[in-house]
Amino acid sequence: SQQGEEDPQALSIQEGENATMNCSYKTSINNLQWYRQNSGRGLVHLILIRSNEREKHSGRLRVTLDTSKKSSSLLITASRAADTASYFCATVNFGNEKLTFGTGTRLTIIP
Amino acid sequence: DTGVSQDPRHKITKRGQNVTFRCDPISEHNRLYWYRQTLGQGPEFLTYFQNEAQLEKSRLLSDRFSAERPKGSFSTLEIQRTEQGDSAMYLCASSPQSSGTGHEQYFGPGTRLTVT
């Protein structure tokens, strides 16, 4: 079963704009991870944020985590055509290592 | 390329046939995972191994599904008596054992199964 949901389900923006997608989940977590999936490269890990962290940066990516609201957001700044993909959040609970994925956000960057 | 590899990449089979997929993880990773993904959905966990031990199985993994990881290296996922509902992308991932705070997983390209 899916742990949570991404919002929006689909997003189209112009190249150069920022893209924000949100993830909500249901249970207490050890960490939350974001993955990107496109037809060319499959599922690729982007960033991991632990339950005791509130914000993390990696290049053009910024992730926030609010454990009180059970939500996370992924911000991609200065978007590029190559960012076109589906983005998934995935949670890991304490005591195991399996990923529980959300439903994904399909991002389209318009050149 | 030293990433996770899966074989075959595509498999078309008739309902009722058995199929077997193979996954070769990154060599130094002792954890190996199987997920299934249907169109428009996120991947769903099926099972995972630490070395050769199968530590957890999802309720999605009916008795027609079996997974092995002999000697803690490659893994196979077998589906017996395939049904049309088994059509999906089967993803394999591996990771090193984490310190308890979690670790990213490295995914293979997947095996797309079509049951006709």
Q: Dump pLDDT digits (tens) for B9-32.
A: 999 999 999 999 999 999 989 999
Token pair 């439903």: residue: A103
DSSP B71: G
pLDDT in the model for residue B101: 64
* Contact status of B42 with chain A (Cβ, < 8 Å): yes
Residues 6+ apart with CB under 8 A from A72: A22, A23, A25, A32, A34, A49, A63, A64, A65, A66, A89
Rounded percentage of chain A residues whose pLDDT exceeds 70: 95
Of A50, A99, A100, the CB nearest to B101: A50
Q: What is the mean pLDDT of residues A3-15?
A: 89
A76-111 pLDDT, tens digit each: 999 999 999 999 999 999 888 899 999 999 999 999
Q: Is the peptide bond before B8 cis (omega within 30 degrees of 0)?
A: yes
For chain A, the C-alpha Rg in angstroms (whole number) is 13
In terms of Cα–Cα distance, which of A47, A5, A30 is closest to A93? A30
Say how far apart CA A25 and CA A102 lie, in whole Å.
Answer: 8
- Residue B60 banded pLDDT, cuts 50, 70, 90: confident
Q: Which residues of chain A have a CB within 8 Å of the CB of B42?
A: 2, 88, 90, 101-104
Selected for mutation to probe chain A from B4, B41, B60, B90 (highest A CB count within 10 Å) is: B41
Mean pLDDT of A65-75: 97
Nearest CB to A42 within list B102, B103, B109: B109
Q: What is the mean pLDDT of residues B47-52?
A: 94
Closest chain B C-alpha to A79 CA, distance in angstroms? 23
The CA angle A23-A29-A30, to the nearest 5 degrees, is 120
Q: How many CB atoms lie within 10 A of CB A97?
A: 21
Residue A58, strand partner residues: A61
C-alpha distance from A48 to closest chain B C-alpha (Å): 7
So what's the pLDDT on residue A6? 86
CA A87 from centre of chain:
6
* Cβ A64 vs Cβ A54: under 8 Å: yes
Provide the 3-class DSSP secondary structure of residue A41.
coil
Does A54 have pLDDT greater than 70?
yes
Is residue B88 within 8 A of residue B95, CB to CB? The reply is: no
Write down the number of H helices and E strands in chain B.
0, 11
Band the pLDDT of A53: cuts 50, 70, 90: very high
Of A38, A43, A4, which Cα lies nearest the Cα of A21? A4
Rounded to whole angstroms, the Cα distance separating B105 from B91 reads 11
Q: How many whole angstroms from its chain centre is CA A96?
A: 20
Taking residues B51-62, report their average pLDDT. Answer: 90
Rounded CA-CA distance A10/B63 in Å is: 36
For A48, which of B41, B102, B106 is closest by C-beta distance?
Answer: B102
